[in-house]
A and B are shown apart, each in its own frame.
Chain A
Amino acid sequence: MKVKDIMTRDVTSVGLNDILERVVETCAHHNREGVPIVDDENRVVGFVSAKDIMSAALPGYLEMLQSTSFIPDTDTLFKKLTAIRGNSLKDVLKPKKVIKVNGDDTALYAADLIIKNGINSLVVVDEQDRLVGIVSRVALLLALLKGNDRSKESE
């Protein structure tokens, strides 16, 4: 079974100049935990997840602390998020390598990448690195289960 057989053929994406609020809305509209970032020619240049945005909104000092339970101000996250909602992705996002697969890669390879990198979904690109689809963990499992049923029927 190949990636192209199980991927969701949707090329919803955002650009580096899009503001955070828009990115969150796009994720919500499509019921996704993240979306690919593409350039003007639809080539994948990154991926932004809800988790990335949340960590961008968390106060920097939290990383140094063991627990947040003693911080009295519960508004901190809200205030920071409100402050950066209008900022563009390129100003907020920390650069990181985007994990991509090809339509002709195997489903096993995709599953391996998802597990090793601890991510929710994989970006699928063509030979020119253009976005052609997406593979989520659930979609992958569902496709594998259904595929298995079909092979049983044919036996």
Chain B
Amino acid sequence: MEVLTVTLNPALDREIVLKNFRVNELHRLDSQEMSLMSPGGKGINVSVMLDDLGIPNIAMGFLGGYVGRIIEEELRKAHKNITTNFTYVDEESRENLTLIDRENETITEINMSGPKVSKENMDRFLKRYKQMLSHSKICVISGSIPPGVAKDVYKQLVLYAKEREVLTIINARDDLLSSALEAGPDVVKPDMRGEKTLLGHELNSIQDYIDSALEMRRMEVKLTVISHELSNDVVATEEGVWYFKPRLRIEAANLLGTGDAYIAGVVYYLYKGDKNWKEAAKVGMASAVRNALSIEKEVKIDIEEIKEELKNIEIERLR
């Protein structure tokens, strides 16, 4: 029984570390290490982190062209626990550019849109998706969708997973989430980078967050995690609504990849067979905090560090 991660729009991530990044200026990098290249896209990031945690998983989605081939080969080369199962499309896979300025602690990100996916490509993907679900127990659906894919695609993916009794975890923007919620995913973590909107409502006061979390619960989501003020979360389960807060102060510049580390932590907990949702959220946050200790996207997390971090999470009941 395995874990499946779905990344419909993978990317080749390029991280460039420089000093005093300025628009309209030439920047020269001191060494090769200042420019890193790695397979990316939210689901793929989760796959890589699960590999670190020793959990075998299958990575699925669409790839295209030379960039697609690099993503696939790199993914397998460095990660023994990852099996690839990508559907190829005609256009090139995208590249995501991240400029990390250590001097001013800023991150500038440029995410490209991705190759066009035809209906025929989608049908082939769905066929392979169903094959993989037949022997999976957890399915992570994460990130944006490439051009040509219907906005309600995640709803369909959750429905297929539920038919086969596979637990579903979704981490995506509000516009992709709302239709998926109709299918009743088990764990939902909205991607709040950018707009603070959920179920079409803008979130301002803490009450807005609680209301949204409760609405998710009514839609039979077993665990809802909504990030609040950089590093804190509003967490809702059947038993209540809580405010999770790490003791450690998190730098804004270190948030790259923490959402994916969170999901990896939750999967790690659920994979072991436990079903305490609040506890799963704790492991998720501990994993995210560990990831946030460094500015780079790819931070190796190990389970001992996560266990250590569990002690440093403050939990306050909201409801």
Is B156 interfacial (CB-CB < 8 Å)?
A: no
B residues in contact with A31, CB < 8 Å: 69
Assess A10 versus B83: contact at CB under 8 Å? Given A26-B88, A29-B88: yes
What's the minimum C-beta distance from A22 to chain B, rounded to whole angstroms?
A: 8
What's the minimum C-beta distance from A28 to chain B, rounded to whole angstroms?
A: 9
A12 touches B86 (CB 8 A): yes
What's the minimum C-beta distance from B158 to chain A, rounded to whole angstroms?
A: 20
B84 touches A9 (CB 8 A): yes
B residues 34-77 with Cβ under 8 Å of A? 58, 69, 72, 76
User: B58's contact among A11, A15, A41, A128, by CB below 8 Å, is which?
Assistant: A11
Report the stretch among B124-132, B165-173, B194-202, B222-230 that lies at the interface: B124-132
Could you name 19 residue pairs across A and B whose Cβ atoms are closer than 8 Å? Answer: A9-B83, A10-B83, A10-B84, A10-B85, A11-B83, A12-B86, A13-B131, A15-B127, A25-B88, A30-B88, A31-B69, A40-B130, A40-B131, A41-B131, A41-B135, A42-B131, A42-B134, A42-B135, A132-B83
Is B82 interfacial (CB-CB < 8 Å)?
A: yes
B residues in contact with A30, CB < 8 Å: 88
User: What CA separation (Å) do A29 and B76 show in the bound complex?
Assistant: 16
Is A130 interfacial (CB-CB < 8 Å)?
A: yes
B residues in contact with A41, CB < 8 Å: 131, 134-135
Interface residues on B, range: 10 to 19
B residues in contact with A49, CB < 8 Å: none
Assess A9 versus B135: contact at CB under 8 Å? Given A15-B127, A40-B130, A133-B83: no
B residues in contact with A42, CB < 8 Å: 131-132, 134-135
User: What CA separation (Å) do A25 and B76 show in the bound complex?
Assistant: 22
A12 touches B76 (CB 8 A): no
What's the minimum C-beta distance from B282 to chain A, rounded to whole angstroms?
A: 32
A residues 1-37 with Cβ under 8 Å of B? 8-13, 15, 22, 25-26, 29-31
Is A140 interfacial (CB-CB < 8 Å)?
A: no
User: A10's contact among B76, B127, B134, B135, by CB below 8 Å, is which?
Assistant: B76
B residues in contact with A128, CB < 8 Å: 135
Per-position binary interface string of chain B over residues 262-280, scored 1 when its CB falls under 8 Å from any chain A CB and 0 otherwise: 0000000000000000000
User: What CA separation (Å) do A94 and B261 show in the bound complex?
Assistant: 48
What's the minimum C-beta distance from A20 to chain B, rounded to whole angstroms?
A: 15
Per-position binary interface string of chain B over residues 76-92, scored 1 when its CB falls under 8 Å from any chain A CB and 0 otherwise: 10001011111010000
List 10 extra interface pairs beyond A10-B72, A11-B84, A41-B131, CB under 8 A.
A9-B84, A10-B84, A12-B86, A13-B128, A22-B124, A40-B134, A41-B134, A42-B131, A42-B135, A132-B83
A residues in contact with B131, CB < 8 Å: 13, 38, 40-42
Name the residue of chain A whose CB is nearest to the CB of B130.
A40
User: B76's contact among A9, A13, A15, A26, by CB below 8 Å, is which?
Assistant: A9
B residues in contact with A12, CB < 8 Å: 84-86
B residues in contact with A38, CB < 8 Å: 131
Going nearest first, the 7 A-B pairs with the smallest beta carbon separation are A29-B88, A9-B83, A42-B131, A41-B134, A10-B84, A11-B85, A9-B76
What's the minimum C-beta distance from A37 to chain B, rounded to whole angstroms?
A: 12
Name the residue of chain B whose CB is nearest to the CB of A10.
B84
A residues 122-140 with Cβ under 8 Å of B? 128, 130, 132-133
Per-position binary interface string of chain B over residues 132-165, scored 1 when its CB falls under 8 Å from any chain A CB and 0 otherwise: 1011000000000000000000000000000000
B residues in contact with A9, CB < 8 Å: 76, 80, 82-84
What's the minimum C-beta distance from B71 to chain A, rounded to whole angstroms?
A: 13
Name the residue of chain B whose CB is nearest to the CB of A18.
B124
What's the minimum C-beta distance from B130 to chain A, rounded to whole angstroms?
A: 7
What's the minimum C-beta distance from A82 to chain B, rounded to whole angstroms?
A: 20
What's the minimum C-beta distance from B133 to chain A, rounded to whole angstroms?
A: 10
What's the minimum C-beta distance from B91 to chain A, rounded to whole angstroms?
A: 13
